[in-house]
Structure 1
Amino acid sequence: MEGMAVSMHKRLLQELGELRYVPTGKRIRARSRDRVVADSLDAVLVWEPRRVVPVYAVPIRDVQGTLSPAPGGGGAQMPVFLDEQAGPPLGPGVGFAAHTCHGTALDIVTDDAVYPAAAFRPADEVLSTLVLLDFEAFDWWEEDEQILGHPRDPFHRVDVRRSSRRVRVELEGLLLAESDRPSAVFETLLPVTRFYLPREDVRVPLVPTETRTYCAYKGEASYFTVESAGERGIDVAWSYEHPLPDCPEIAGLVAFFQERLDVTVDGAPMVGARTPWSEPA
């Protein structure tokens, strides 16, 4: 008897509720100023339940400091904080302290510093000899290359494709941009296709805002508002001026938040999928 086809998208989303891991095969180092806090050839990427991006985990022996129960963690089996299954996926903006599996929050104590609750030892039998480390607490290297934003997911892809589809972006009837030469960006599990447009095809002045974000796959993004549309101070678009080597094609192009704007592609309205960016911050 033949089985039914399985949607890989649904399968991957179902797995968000699991505690997941994969060895990296890379030398991983965590530094704080001039001090090495962890140095490991046996590091593992770990996703706690509901986490979209992983953190580095290393064997306890590879932490160059003393681990002690964090105040409030107290060695309890559940220093948490969030339910394993209930609630939306947790993006990189949700802090390390929001754990979703059983375990113990730990301070890392060195000769000259204390890193509060910067480590977490899961109670899971497979991972119990490891500690998860707070990415934001340290500077990180894979081999001899610095890693920014968050650890890269080996199962995550960002594909950029030149397109001739006509993309039109409006806000309450005001034309912001129109182009028949966009670059379409497809990113694993992101429910929308992003269209990056040439600056020449933007029809209104873009005013820079102070917002900056960092994507581990694309690099640092700068943001823009559109004062002529009454959106002063609200981010409606962004650009990667100097993207990482993975995505050189998007350098200097402009992408618009289609969750917040009216976007048509070849005359058909884009369906407004809900994402973490659907509402202005």
Structure 2
Amino acid sequence: MAIKLSEVILGAFPQLRYEPTAKRVRASLGGNTVVDTIHARLVWEPRRITPIFAVPEAELRAELVPAGGPTADVAELPVKLSADSPPSLDPRTGFGRHTTTGEQLDVVTGTTTAPGAAFRLDDPELAGYVVLDFAAFQWREDDEEIIGHPRDPFHRVDIRASSLDVEVSLEGVTLASTNGAQLLYETFLPVRYYIPPGDVRLDLMEESRTRTVCPYKGEARYWTYPGSESGRNVAWSYDRRFRDAAQIHGLISFFNERVDLTVDGVLQPRPVTPWSRPQARA
């Protein structure tokens, strides 16, 4: 019997997972190189959606010491990618919330200490490795900066030009209308329609202070439609940080989950995702 591959991947979320990477991985702390390795692994702790790096402890250019104080309680932010997916942890759940056994460690360089920024996993497949808190360090893959979290080799982003008629409205007000959208297809997420700003009613919207980062697309700034509670941070646009996403640079997309999206005259159902509510972030 055929197996739906997405169900296999989602079904592994409750387990500790890892995958070697051939990339040169570098992390620095306070201007000091902490690790420079070609032997890194990507690790997903149980229920984690996004990976972090595990690096060989023998290649660390820093000292690891038992955490100097009790680990602060980190709120667990549950999330489901879809109505049918298993419960997972929102990527904003802090590094200190571990879902497998191991030892929390401080990372100490000559000038800087990163409290609790390493975790020695209690697993034979990852013996000799420690995972590092992505947010505590500055990271490069080969010679390029990476942000947000490491890229997942099983996660794709494809962008295709489209001449479909696309209209976005909210509570009866048209916010965008175009036949020149770029369609972004991303693993496990709804299709996103990126619209030229000239086809968006920006005069009805206000730019917000919210900023988020995506390791595949760059840094996003947001717009709010003040006429509706559902319109808070309802649209966004990415900067020009990554060449991979050049087709959507400067274009504007809306959360399908919170607007009425009509494609070639057909009203699309609103998907249920972590971004269905205004307070959730991209």
Matches within 5 A, 1:69-108: 69-70=66-67, 71-72=69-70, 88-108=87-107
**The residue matched to 1:98 in structure 2 has which SS?**
coil
User: RMSD between aligned alpha carbons?
Assistant: 2.4
8 Å contact kept, 1:103–1:121? yes
Structure 2 CA distance for aligned equivalents of residues 106 and 217 of structure 1: 29
Letter of the structure 1 residue corresponding to residue 114 of structure 2 = Y
Task: Tell me the TM-score normalised to structure 1 length.
Answer: 0.89
Equivalent-residue separation in structure 1 for 2:244 and 2:87 (angstroms): 29
Residue aligned with 1:126, SS: helix
Deviations along 1:128-169, one digit per CA (max 9) or x if unpaired, are 210000000010111222111211111211000111222211
Between Structure 1 and Structure 2, how many residues are aligned? 270
Cα distance change, pair 233–270 in 1 and its aligned pair in 2 (3 A): closer
Aligned to 1:7: 4
In structure 1, the residue matched to 2:17 is 20
Residue 188 of structure 2 corresponds to 189
Give me the whole-angstrom Cα distance separating, in 2, the residues matched to 1:274 and 1:259: 6
Query: What secondary structure, in the 3-state scheme, does the structure 2 residue paired with 1:238 have?
Result: strand
Q: Hey, what's the Cα distance between the residues in 2 that align with 1:145 and 1:254? A: 26
Per-residue deviation at 1:261? 1.3
- Give the structure 2 partner of residue 121 of structure 1: 120
Instruction: Note closer, same or farther for the CA distance 1:221–1:32 as it changes in structure 2 (3 Å cut).
Output: same
The CA deviation at 1:233 is: 8.2
Partner of 1:39: 36
| Unmatched segments (≥5 aa) in structure 1 | 74-78
Deviation at 1:89, TM superposition (A): 2.1
1:54 CA displacement: 0.8
Distance 1:232 1:80 in 2: 28
The corresponding residue for 2:83 is none
Asked if 1:276 corresponds to 2:268, the answer is no
Match of 1:209 in 2: 208
Between the aligned partners of 2:202 and 2:106, the Cα distance in structure 1 is: 51
Q: Give TM-score, length-normalised by structure 2.
A: 0.88
Of 240-249 and 216-225, more deviation after overlay is shown by: 240-249
Which residue of the partner structure matches residue 142 of structure 1? 141
Structure 1 pair 241/111, CA: closer, same or farther in 2 (3 Å)? Answer: closer
Distance in 2, matches of 1:20 and 1:32, equals 26
- Which residue of structure 2 lines up, in the alignment, with residue 76 of structure 1? none
Distance in 1 separating the partners of 2:124 and 2:274: 33
Q: Which of 259, 263, 276 pairs up with 2:261?
A: 263
Cα 1:152–1:138 change in 2 (3 A) is same
Alignment-mate amino acid for residue 88 of structure 1:
P
SS in structure 2 of the partner of residue 247 of structure 1: helix
Shift of residue 176, structure 1, vs aligned partner = 0.8
SS state at 2:126 partner:
coil
Over the matched positions of the two proteins, sequence identity in percent amounts to 47
- What CA deviation, in whole Å up to 9, does each residue of 1:165-210 have, x standing for no partner? 22211111111111222111000121x1101111121135232111
1:230: how far off?
Answer: 4.1
Q: Superposed, which structure 2 residues align to 1:152-191 within 5 Å? A: 152-190=151-189
